[in-house]
Amino acid sequence: MTVTEQSIIASRALETVTGEPVSVPDPGGLLHLQFRRFAGCPICNVHLRSFARRYAEIRAAGVTEVAVFHAPAAELAPHVADLPFAVVPDPARRLYVEFGVESSPRALLDPRVWPGIIRAVAAELPRALRGKAKFPDRRPTGGRLGLPGDFLIAPDGRVLAGRIGAHADDQWSADELLHLARR
């Protein structure tokens, strides 16, 4: 079954990269479940840092952030250690399958992604060279062709909004999330 708007998500606890549990849905408020690509993905790193910068504003809007990667915890941990929100490893892609977030060559071949790739590499390469970021593995778990996905989930498990990206840089911005949360 692929999750769509108005689907009801079964309550569960997911294990984060640090071994802590996180509740999905969040019984205390809205939950933004975002599906990222591989550990160390430059586009994902830039995107997640933009959410980290606005984390206080997102929390003030009653939204809990949870990012999911199709990578094992050991591969993922060095890339996400400084994020202020939960990051969940899903190397078996169980959540990806449940939510209908797939891999596709269009992740990198769609011309609309190319400016985002250039921006992300330009931002991440200097950080990696200074030791502030880790280069991604040459052959990351799950490959490089994953598409992003975003889902806003109510405390009762109802999916209020969702989007699966058409390419690797097609995801909600913090502004889009906050707009959806206010509705």
Q: What is the pLDDT of residues 160-175, one digit of tens each?
A: 999 999 998 999 999 9
Given a cut of 80, whether residue 92 has pLDDT beyond it is yes
Average pLDDT, stretch 142-155?
A: 90
**39-78 exposure pattern, b = at least 16 Cβ within 10 A, e = fewer:** bbbbbbbbbbbebbebeeebeebebbbbbbbbbbbebbbe
Evaluate if residue 6 carries a pLDDT over 90.
no
Cα–Cα distance, 114 to 120 (Å, whole number)? 10
Identify whether 7 is part of a domain: no
Domain count, the chain: 1
Q: Is residue 6 part of a domain?
A: no
Q: Does 129 map to a domain?
A: yes
> Which of 104-118, 123-137, 147-161 is predicted most confidently?
147-161
Q: Does residue 3 lie within any of the structural domains?
A: no
In a domain? residue 34: yes
Whole-structure pTM value:
0.88
Mean pLDDT in residue range 39-59: 92
Instruction: Tally Cβ neighbours within 10 Å of residue 20.
Output: 10
Rounded alpha-carbon distances, angstroms, from residue 36 to 76, 148, 151, 156 = 11, 5, 12, 24
What is the CATH number for 24? 3.40.30.10
pLDDT of residue 21: 97
Element spanning 132, H or E: none
Q: How far apart are CA 130 and CA 109, in angstroms?
A: 30
Residue 165 inside a domain? The answer is yes
Q: Which domain holds residue 43?
A: 12-182
Band (pLDDT 50/70/90 cuts) for residue 3 is confident
Least confident of 53-57, 77-81, 170-174: 77-81
Please determine, for residue 32, whether its predicted confidence score (pLDDT) is greater than 80.
yes
Asked if residues 150 and 48 have their Cβ atoms less than 8 Å apart, the reply is: no
